[in-house]
Structure formats: C-alpha cells, structure tokens
Amino acid sequence: MWAPAILALLLYTPLAQAFSAPSSVLNSVSKIGILTSGGDCPSLNACIRAILKTAETRDVEVFGLPRGFPGIIEDPPAIFKLDASYASAAMLTKGGSRLGGSVGSDYKLIDSLSLDEKASRISAALSELEIDGIIATGGDTSMDLIAQMLQYATGNIPFIGIPKSIDNDIPSTIYSIGFQSAVATAAKSIAAVRDTAESHRRVIVVECMGRNAGFLTLHSGIAGGADTILLPEFPVDNTQLLKHVEEVYKKHECAVVVVSEAIRLSSNSGKTSKYTTADGKTRLGGSAEAVARFLSESLGLDARHVVLGHTQRGGSPNGFDQVMATTLGAHAVNAICEGQSEVMMNWNGRNVEAIPLDEVRDVPSKSLSSDYPELIAAQSMGIYCGST
Ligand code: F6P
C-alpha cells in the first residue's frame, strides 16, 4: 500500500491538522467502494463476498477499488462494479485478494503526485460514480491513513475499517482476519519440518513473519509442536538457548526451533536481521539463518533453516477466518448503512463492536506480554521462549 508515502505527506504538511472526523454520518448510503489495503492475507475474498451479499440485500451497489487508492488515482481510475462472481461461494476459500495490492508502478505514481493532486483525483473518481461510503480492510496504520485521506479528499464520506493482519498486532483486537489461517499454514510447515529433522537427526530453524509482534510465531510454534520459540518481545539468552537445544537434541536426536523474523540477536549486536531490496526497501529477514549458524557452530550439530515467508500470507483461509471475515464484512455494511463512520469493526470474543478509529489512532501496536496465556502454556511445557 502507499501508506508510507501518505504518512510522510501527512506528517510533514500543516494540512494534516485539518483532518477531523464526525463519529457518525447521517446520509443514507447507496453505493459503497471496497478496498483491501496493505499486504494481503487469507480471507480477504470471504470478506469482500460478505460485503457484496449484505449490500445486495439492502439495494446498495458495491464497487471495487483495485490495489487500494492507486486504482483510483490513476488516469482513468480503475474502479469497477463488482459482478456476481464476487458473491460466489468460491470466494470463501480463495486466497489473496481479488482486488489486489499495490505494485511497484503504484508507488511511482503516488510519489509523482502532490497530496492535493491525489485528493482531487480521489474526490473526482468517487463523485463521478456517486460512491458515498468506503469500507477498507487494513492494518491500523493503513485504515487510519485511508480514513484521513478520505476526509481530506471528500469532506465526510463514511468510512468503516475491518482489521486484517497475519501479524495480529492491531490495537483493541483479539484476532484480526488472516491471522488464524496464517497460523494454520505455518503450523503445518513446522510439523512437516520435524519429519525430515527426525530422519536426518538435524536441528531445523523455521522463520515466521509477524514484524515486531510475536503472535504469529508463538501460535504457529505451539500448533506446530516446536521445541523452542524465539520472539521479538523477549531477549534471547544464548547460554540458555544452547543448553535448551542441547537437552532437546539429546532426548529426541533432533530439534525444531521456530523464530520470529524480528528477533534481536546478540550475534548481530542486539539488532534485528534486515536487508535492503534492489528498489531500496528495507525488509526483515535472516534471523533463522543466523540462529541455525549459531547453533551449528556452538553445538557442532547439523542445523538448517527454512523461511516460511509469503506462504503464510497465501492459501485458503481456515474456517475460523472464513466466519470472522464474513461476520465483520456483513456488520461493516450494516454499520455504514446505519450511519456509522470512522470506526473499525471488531470481534471482541463475544460481540462485534464498532470501535471509533480515534481509539486505535496513535496507540502502539499490540505485542506479547509475559502474562499472555499461550506464552505461559508454552513455557509450562518446557519450551524455551527467551527471557520473559
Ligand atoms: O505485515 C504483514 C507482513 O507479512 C509482515 O509479517 C512481513 O514482515 C511483511 O508484511 C512483508 O511485507 P512484504 O510483502 O512487503 O515483503
């Protein structure tokens, strides 16, 4: 998504102070635009389907904004009316997002336009089609930036956000859509790695995504049967790690270590492993390789590493996410039709609630604390999870 570009523009322009939003908008809604912002994840299509099907029951038309705002600001805008295929049952199981995510040329276009040029293209495209409400899936930052941009571009078009993230780090949420599916995918790979680790009497280190939050790594490690789980929130004590892996190895003649992409390694001066891509982007990655090398050199064991990477973002969603994405999508349409705006639909473990975006804005992302029940469970079973 073009969040960093908008963020930079918003932060460094006095116009940012002009953003303020009403908590409820009374206009009736007859045409909704949907976009899937940020990285993709399983169950976005299930969510789109639920939005379309719910909107149909209310005689509301639904338009897709391909690749997020970039699809609107290009000339001509690529907005299109969703056809019946978007309401088909096949959407429940299709991975990725049929509306797509941003690509390299989108960033170039974004960088080439001023904030006002972007705002005027967004406003023109939406008013041309008479779109009078927007629903977006996204992380907390991208949802907030979209809401702010819409306010800036259109005045007060109603906006509803739906939390999605395989990292599960969105404030105020228990789970965001996509997380449970990513856990299921990663857990399957971790279990598969144990088969080969056993055969070859190896240590295998598996790297999970999740940015600076350890939820994906912890849940995947538990579900996949990991012996050791290293998380970004808790420092790794090398002596304890080596002792633990050695003991596991003595017992089972293999070990499966699951690490988050953002753990801080003393072999890397306490920093996370990062690299820069050819187009200048900084990416997390390399922690599994570094841990495998450290274990191999320190313990004299054969240690290999696997990076699960984008496999965790793809594939069919599991049942939990199919239901949660459907539920939040349907409630988002109900909320926008009932006059709500600037809210994020949230499943709180019992009900679906509409949380004002103001409660999520400028709040630090969620991260693991040492009293997180799943973490305590892992430690209680003898899994080393770092110094909590
Ligand atoms: O935020 C989701 C996420 O998949 C992170 O877990 C990961 O670090 C990042 O996005 C990868 O981003 P990209 O697809 O741009 O490499």
Q: Can 167 be counted among the known catalytic residues?
A: yes
Closest CA relative to residue 19, chosen from 279, 262, 358, 376: 358
Atom of ligand 1 nearest to the CA of 281: 15
Residue having the nearest C-alpha atom to atom 14 of ligand 1? 39
Query: From the CA of 125, how far away is ligand 1's center (Å)?
Result: 29
Ligand 1, CB within 6 Å, residue ranges? 39, 166-167, 209-211, 261, 283-284, 313
Residue having the nearest C-alpha atom to atom 8 of ligand 1? 211
Half-sphere exposure of 122 (CA within 13 A, CB side): 28
Query: From the CA of 334, how far away is ligand 1's center (Å)?
Result: 31
- pLDDT of res. 326: 98
Q: What is the pTM of this model?
A: 0.92
Catalytic residue, chosen from 40, 132, 140, 167, is: 167
Query: From the CA of 209, how far away is ligand 1's center (Å)?
Result: 7
CB-based burial label for 356 (10 Å; 0-12, 13-18, 19+) = middle
Three-state SS for 67-91 is CCCHHHHCCCCCCEECCHHHHCHHH
Residue having the nearest C-alpha atom to atom 15 of ligand 1? 39
Q: At what angle do helices 140-154 and 3-11 cross, to 10 degrees?
A: 60
**Interatomic CA distance for residues 18 and 84, integer angstroms:** 40
- The one-digit pLDDT tens for each residue of the chain (388 residues) are 444 444 433 333 333 333 333 344 445 899 999 999 989 999 999 999 999 999 999 999 999 999 988 889 998 999 999 999 999 999 999 999 999 988 878 888 888 999 999 999 999 999 999 999 999 999 988 899 999 999 999 998 999 999 999 999 999 999 999 999 999 999 999 999 999 999 999 999 999 999 999 999 999 999 999 999 999 999 999 999 999 999 999 999 999 999 999 999 887 788 899 989 887 888 999 999 999 999 999 999 999 999 999 999 999 999 999 999 999 999 999 999 999 999 999 999 999 999 999 999 889 999 999 999 999 999 999 999 999 9
- pLDDT of res. 55: 98
**Interatomic CA distance for residues 187 and 341, integer angstroms:** 37
| Amino acid code (one letter) for 29 | V
Site to probe by mutation for ligand 1, drawn from 2, 106, 211, 273 as the one with most ligand atoms within 8 Å of Cβ, is 211
DSSP 18: G
Query: From the CA of 99, how far away is ligand 1's center (Å)?
Result: 18
Closest CA relative to residue 318, chosen from 95, 88, 99: 95
Site to probe by mutation for ligand 1, drawn from 283, 287, 311, 312 as the one with most ligand atoms within 8 Å of Cβ, is 283
Contact 261, 209 (CB under 8 A): yes
- pLDDT of res. 371: 98
What is the maximum alpha-carbon separation in the chain? 69
- pLDDT of res. 269: 80
**Interatomic CA distance for residues 129 and 261, integer angstroms:** 43
Atom of ligand 1 nearest to the CA of 139: 1
Residue having the nearest C-alpha atom to atom 6 of ligand 1? 210
Residue having the nearest C-alpha atom to atom 16 of ligand 1? 283
Atom of ligand 1 nearest to the CA of 283: 16
Atom of ligand 1 nearest to the CA of 313: 4
- pLDDT of res. 277: 86
- pLDDT of res. 12: 32
